[in-house]
């Protein structure tokens, strides 16, 4: 997944989850059930690819988003908070 490119920990977690799910359903023989499982897997992949963003640390305490061309969510402007994020500025 490009979504987690360069993040070995996240890639390992995703690979493990995928393998666990396929093992869980490896004995399913009903064609309709198999098609439904594959459809669900494709929907999950699409959701992750188009809605999850990765952030990378650019300096201690500072991060920047790494957006892929597949991300569908528009950027939403925000106001950076100084100090405690719960306090009103």
pLDDT 10s digits, 53-85: 888 889 999 999 888 888 876 656 656 767 655
- Domain membership of residue 70 (yes or no) is no
* Number of domains present in the structure of the chain: 1
Contact assessment for residue 70 and residue 50, using Cβ atoms and an 8 Å cutoff: yes
Output 47 or 89, whichever has higher pLDDT.
47
pTM (two decimals)? 0.67
Domain span holding position 38: 8-65
- Domain membership of residue 80 (yes or no) is no
pLDDT 10s digits, 2-55: 888 888 999 999 999 999 999 999 999 999 999 999 999 999 999 888 888 888
Distances (CA, A) of 9 to 13, 43, 50, 52, 70: 6, 23, 20, 16, 21
- Domain membership of residue 87 (yes or no) is no
- Domain membership of residue 42 (yes or no) is yes
Amino acid 68: pLDDT: 84
Amino acid 34: pLDDT: 95
């Amino acid at each position: 997944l490009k979504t987690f490119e360069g993040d070995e920990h996240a890639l390992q977690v995703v690979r493990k989850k995928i393998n666990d799910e396929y093992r869980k359903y490896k004995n399913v023989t009903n064609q309709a059930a198999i098609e439904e499982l594959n459809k669900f897997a494709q929907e999950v992949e699409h959701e992750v690819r188009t809605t999850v963003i990765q952030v990378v640390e650019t300096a201690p305490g500072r991060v920047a988003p790494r957006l892929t061309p597949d991300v569908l969510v528009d950027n939403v402007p925000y106001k950076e908070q100084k100090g405690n994020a719960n306090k009103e500025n």
